């Protein structure tokens, strides 16, 4: 992973956790301590992080907790728009008439749903299931050919979505033909998130879906996070943006994984 990809991944980790130690970053990036400290010094010089006594955080982490969580989500929503739009275009082509689609509360899935709704005239009898609060706000008046189902539960501001026992109970009553979910990190072996309840929820989504697709940009490849969601082989395809290194794509294909 080159310096620019490491910087992007460090910022994404901090958006999820608010505060992280240099030692944790070293383990997750799989680099030496001097490399992490050089990266952090560079980010601090650019005003992107604040580092003190071995702990690192984003400048916005000094905001009140509820403000910070929502701010982080909407910052992620507007970051890397080109990559997310590329992924959304590819993923939307996988949806067909009569599909029962699940889209998670990730920012990438948000772009996927917006693209899908723009193409609703080519689809008939589409059902969309989501736990995303942002998508509900976006789809207050869905097209007449689209049935929208919300999985309610306990609101998680950092993920801008609903999680917890009530969410799982509703999910368990439903059947999904195709699930589209994102993640914090992916290796050839496993897919990861930074949130324990999020991992449990997405694992359950995969169990209720006939087919699942992973939506991740190129910087998420060859990285790890705290909580495994599922084996990477559980996904019918990994939908990535065009900036994915061909050698990385070849490695995943050689492992029997489909890259779109």
Strand order across the 55-57 sheet: 19-21, 55-57, 50-52
Inside any domain, residue 142: yes
- Predicted confidence at residue 62, as pLDDT, reads 42
Q: Any alpha helices (H) in 53-104, and if so which ranges?
A: 65-77, 81-92
Please identify, among 20, 35, 62, the residue that sits at the C-terminal boundary of a domain.
62
Residue 235 above 90 pLDDT? yes
Percent of the chain whose predicted confidence (pLDDT) is above 70: 92
Other CB atoms within a 10 A radius of the CB of residue 74 amount to 12
Residues 26 and 146 in one domain: no
Give residue 50's pLDDT band: very low, low, confident or very high (50, 70, 90): confident
CA-nearest of 155, 137, 158, 162 to 63 is 158
Please identify, among 16, 32, 62, the residue that sits at the C-terminal boundary of a domain.
62
* Sign for the pseudo-dihedral over CA of 112, 199, 102, 104: negative
Residues 119 and 243 in one domain: yes
Residues 8 and 36 in one domain: yes
Mean local confidence (pLDDT), 181-188: 95
- Predicted confidence at residue 63, as pLDDT, reads 43
Residues 41 and 97 in one domain: no
Percent of the chain whose predicted confidence (pLDDT) is above 90: 58
Measure the CA–CA gap between 101 and 146, rounded to whole angstroms. Answer: 10
Mean local confidence (pLDDT), 169-198: 95
Measure the CA–CA gap between 253 and 201, rounded to whole angstroms. Answer: 27
Q: What angle do CA 132, 138, 139 make, to 5 degrees?
A: 90
Residues 188 and 124 in one domain: yes
Inside any domain, residue 71: no
What residues does 19 pair with on adjacent strands? Answer: 57
Mean local confidence (pLDDT), 8-37: 84
Residues 109 and 45 in one domain: no
Please identify, among 62, 91, 111, the residue that sits at the C-terminal boundary of a domain.
62
Residues 29 and 96 in one domain: no
- Predicted confidence at residue 74, as pLDDT, reads 66
CA-nearest of 20, 22, 3 to 12 is 20
Residues 13 and 102 in one domain: no
Measure the CA–CA gap between 240 and 188, rounded to whole angstroms. Answer: 14
Give residue 81's pLDDT band: very low, low, confident or very high (50, 70, 90): confident
Its pTM stands at 0.76
Measure the CA–CA gap between 73 and 132, rounded to whole angstroms. Answer: 12
CATH at 196? 3.40.50.1360
- Predicted confidence at residue 60, as pLDDT, reads 56
Residues 162 and 196 in one domain: yes
What residues does 21 pair with on adjacent strands? Answer: 55
CB 207 within 8 A of CB 178: no
Inside any domain, residue 72: no
Residues composing the chain: 260
Inside any domain, residue 73: no
Inside any domain, residue 75: no
- Predicted confidence at residue 210, as pLDDT, reads 98
CA-nearest of 130, 209, 70, 72 to 116 is 130
pLDDT tens string 93-108:
999 999 999 999 999 9
- Predicted confidence at residue 83, as pLDDT, reads 93
pLDDT tens string 53-64:
667 887 754 444
Give residue 70's pLDDT band: very low, low, confident or very high (50, 70, 90): low
- The residue to which tokens 């604040």 are assigned: 50
Inside any domain, residue 141: yes
Residue 18 above 80 pLDDT? no
Residues 22 and 87 in one domain: no
Inside any domain, residue 70: no
CATH at 17? 1.10.10.10
- Predicted confidence at residue 53, as pLDDT, reads 65
The CA distances from residue 16 to 34, 61, 68, 192, in Å, are 24, 11, 11, 13
Burial of 193 (0-12, 13-18, 19+ CB in 10 A): buried
Residues 247 and 154 in one domain: yes
Domain count, the chain: 2
Give residue 121's pLDDT band: very low, low, confident or very high (50, 70, 90): confident
Mean local confidence (pLDDT), 61-80: 59
Residues 122 and 58 in one domain: no
Measure the CA–CA gap between 194 and 204, rounded to whole angstroms. Answer: 17
Inside any domain, residue 68: no
The CA distances from residue 12 to 154, 157, 161, 184, in Å, are 23, 16, 18, 8
* Domain interval for residue 35: 3-62
């Amino acid at each position: 992973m080159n310096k620019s990809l490491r910087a992007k991944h460090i910022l994404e980790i901090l958006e999820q956790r608010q505060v992280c130690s240099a030692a944790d970053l070293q383990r997750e990036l799989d680099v030496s301590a001097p490399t992490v400290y050089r990266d952090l010094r560079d980010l601090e010089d650019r005003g992107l992080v604040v580092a003190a006594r071995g702990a690192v955080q984003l400048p916005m982490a000094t905001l009140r907790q509820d403000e910070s969580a929502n701010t982080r989500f909407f910052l992620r929503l507007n970051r890397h728009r080109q990559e997310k739009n590329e992924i959304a275009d590819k993923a939307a082509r996988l949806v067909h008439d009569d599909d029962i689609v699940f889209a998670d509360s990730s920012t990438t899935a948000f772009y996927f749903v917006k693209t899908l709704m723009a193409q609703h005239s080519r689809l008939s009898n589409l059902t969309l299931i989501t736990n995303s609060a942002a998508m509900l706000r976006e789809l207050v008046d869905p097209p007449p050919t689209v049935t929208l189902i919300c999985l309610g539960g306990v609101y998680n501001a950092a993920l801008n979505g609903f999680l917890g026992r009530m969410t799982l109970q509703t999910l368990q009553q439903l059947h999904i033909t195709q699930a589209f979910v994102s993640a914090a990190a992916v290796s050839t072996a496993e897919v990861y998130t930074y949130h324990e309840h999020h991992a449990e929820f997405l694992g359950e989504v995969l169990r209720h879906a006939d087919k699942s697709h992973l939506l991740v940009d190129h910087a998420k490849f060859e990285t790890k996070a705290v909580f495994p969601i599922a084996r990477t082989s559980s996904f019918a395809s990994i939908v990535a943006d065009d900036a994915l290194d061909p050698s990385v794509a070849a490695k995943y294909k050689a492992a029997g994984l489909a890259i779109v």
